[in-house]
Chain A
Amino acid sequence: AQSVAQPEDQVNVAEGNPLTVKCTYSVSGNPYLFWYVQYPNRGLQFLLKYITGDNLVKGSYGFEAEFNKSQTSFHLKKPSALVSDSALFFCSVRYSSGTYKYIFGTGTRLKVLA
């Protein structure tokens, strides 16, 4: 079955430290990969997406993600975390199965500590 996994429900990181939010997937074909963020009491926002090309994708708010085909991973990273980065992050995959389908991970709550 096609799936997306975010193995950590919560990630805690100190302000100024690098952060990583993990995502792995299991889908057939060549998927599109996405990261979204949901700030407290606000809607979803698109962060970045990977379709093809350079494995390192840069997105909004200084976030970037690294696509690793052999490990079927698409981890979200930021070199230096800010308290304001604290939010809920979702990884998503688009794959083709007759028609296009999108699936989401369960979300990872990032808490950046001052």
Chain B
Amino acid sequence: DSGVTQTPKHLITATGQRVTLRCSPRSGDLSVYWYQQSLDQGLQFLIQYYNGEERAKGNILERFSAQQFPDLHSELNLSSLELGDSALYFCASSVDDRRNTEAFFGQGTRLTVV
């Protein structure tokens, strides 16, 4: 158990809908990262937050947004869902993003858009 909790584990929804994925980082970790893993596009970095502020941004679609709350949990919002958004979404956390910190991953949320 990495200490990073993602909910829900599985999600099935229809095209055009909106969903929210939740990530609770390890206790004491200030950084949260979101990734998408799909068969078509492989593993992609979406976005990173550090102590509530956006730190890094990857290939995140405009239909997607994220935030990190004061209690450091993070949510990834996916809207106007398309079939191609079906993927495994991972969250990871680390103390910070400096030299000697390791990132720990949650088990992921598997999103299926039908």
A residues whose Cβ falls under 8 Å from a Cβ of B: 42-46, 49, 51-52, 90, 92, 94, 99-104, 106-107
Contact = CB atoms under 8 A, between A and B. Distances in A.
Residues of A contacting B: mostly = strand
Contacts of B107: 42-43
A106 B42 contact: yes
Interface of B: 2, 33, 35, 42-45, 48, 55-58, 90, 92, 97, 99, 102-108
Contacts of B104: 46
A101 B92 contact: no
B53 to A, nearest CB: 11
Residues of B contacting A: mostly = strand
Counting from the closest, the 9 A-B pairs by CB-CB distance are A100-B56, A102-B45, A44-B105, A104-B43, A43-B107, A46-B103, A43-B105, A51-B99, A46-B102
B56 A99 contact: yes
B96 to A, nearest CB: 13
B106 to A, nearest CB: 6
Given A100-B56, A102-B56, A45 B42 contact: no
Contacts of B103: 46
A44 B43 CA distance: 10
Contact of B92 (A44, A52, A90, A99): A44
B42 A46 contact: no
